[in-house]
Each structure stands twice: as C-alpha cells, then as structure tokens.
Amino acid sequence: MNLLLTAFAEGAATDTAEMAGGGWLAFLVQFGPLILLFGLMYVI
C-alpha cells in the first residue's frame, strides 16, 4: 500500500505541474474516481 501511495504522490506532483498550465478537466477525469474510491474506503 505504501508503494501505491508513493507512486500516487509522484503522479500527483507531475499532474499538479500540468494542471497549472490549465488542465483542470484532465485533473478531474484522472483523480475523480480515485477521490471517490478513497471516500468510500473512509466511509466503510
């Protein structure tokens, strides 16, 4: 799980840099499902 979180953090860092260029839609498409998944894991 730690490895997964590390990979996610690295991906988030690069995506944040891209998002600064105006890629909000791509950001939502990429992270929306992941945010929902973490939300479900937290609730359950």
Higher-pLDDT residue of 22 and 5 is 5
- pLDDT at position 15 is 63
- pLDDT at position 16 is 63
- pLDDT at position 39 is 85
Dihedral (C-alpha) 19, 21, 25, 26: value to the nearest 10 degrees? -60
pLDDT digits (tens, 9 = 90+) for 11-42: 666 666 665 556 677 777 778 888 888 888 88
- pLDDT at position 17 is 61
pTM: 0.35
Q: Which two tokens stand for residue 19?
A: 């998002």
